[in-house]
Amino acid sequence: MGYYRAFIPNYAKIPLPLSKLLRRDQNFIWTEEQTNAFDRQFCQTMPTVIASVATKVLARLKNSGLRLRLSKCSFLPNQIEYLGHTITEGQIAPQTRKIEVIDALKAPSDVKGLRQVLGMAGYYRSFIPNSAAVTQPLTKLIRKTATYEWKEEQQSFTTACGAPTRD
């Protein structure tokens, strides 16, 4: 592949012959009917139906030669921790251990630390009311022309760090 391929984002065809693909992977290519049937069965909400469908899914995984680690599996949980959030029925909140870390944050002493704080504030911005206005004095400090000087207006740091913890 030369330079002329650098700006083509995707291949127009499979880059290797189908005979080179693993047989196990070929067995996992489902038809659209199989996929729709799986979706219809697996998306039921009754626990007994889910249990029977789960046994079918686990049997299919076993027949395909795949293994599951029981310590990494959970069935019908009430809450899930995912990407720094705790997801419960109809509610999304920041994880409690992340909140403890946020509460323990001290005012950053340099631009690198400030960027880390702004990254955290950006990740949890949905839990910070009016987050753009709260973080604006902090973003002024990371400009190339600005000198890093912590003043009274940068105390919005405490607002930005305290907002995800309030509920």
- pLDDT at position 111, please? 85
Residue extents of the structural domains in the chain: 11-66, 95-161
- pLDDT at position 40, please? 63
- pLDDT at position 29, please? 59
The pTM assigned to this predicted structure is 0.52
- pLDDT at position 24, please? 46
Tell me which H or E stretch contains 139: helix 131-140
Predicted confidence pLDDT, tens digits, the chain (167 residues): 555 555 555 555 555 555 554 444 555 556 666 666 666 655 545 566 777 788 888 888 888 888 888 888 877 788 888 888 888 887 888 888 888 887 777 888 888 888 888 888 788 888 888 888 888 888 888 888 888 877 777 776 666 666 565 55
- pLDDT at position 130, please? 82
Look at the alpha carbons of 154, 159, 162, 164 in this order and tell me if their dihedral is positive or negative. negative
Find out whether 94 and 87 touch, Cβ atoms under 8 Å. no
- pLDDT at position 145, please? 84
Instruction: Identify which of 47, 40, 38, 43 has the alpha carbon closest to the alpha carbon of residue 77.
Output: 47
Instruction: Identify which of 40, 55, 158, 47 has the alpha carbon closest to the alpha carbon of residue 104.
Output: 158
Measured in whole angstroms, the distance separating CA 13 from the mean position of its chain's CA atoms is: 31
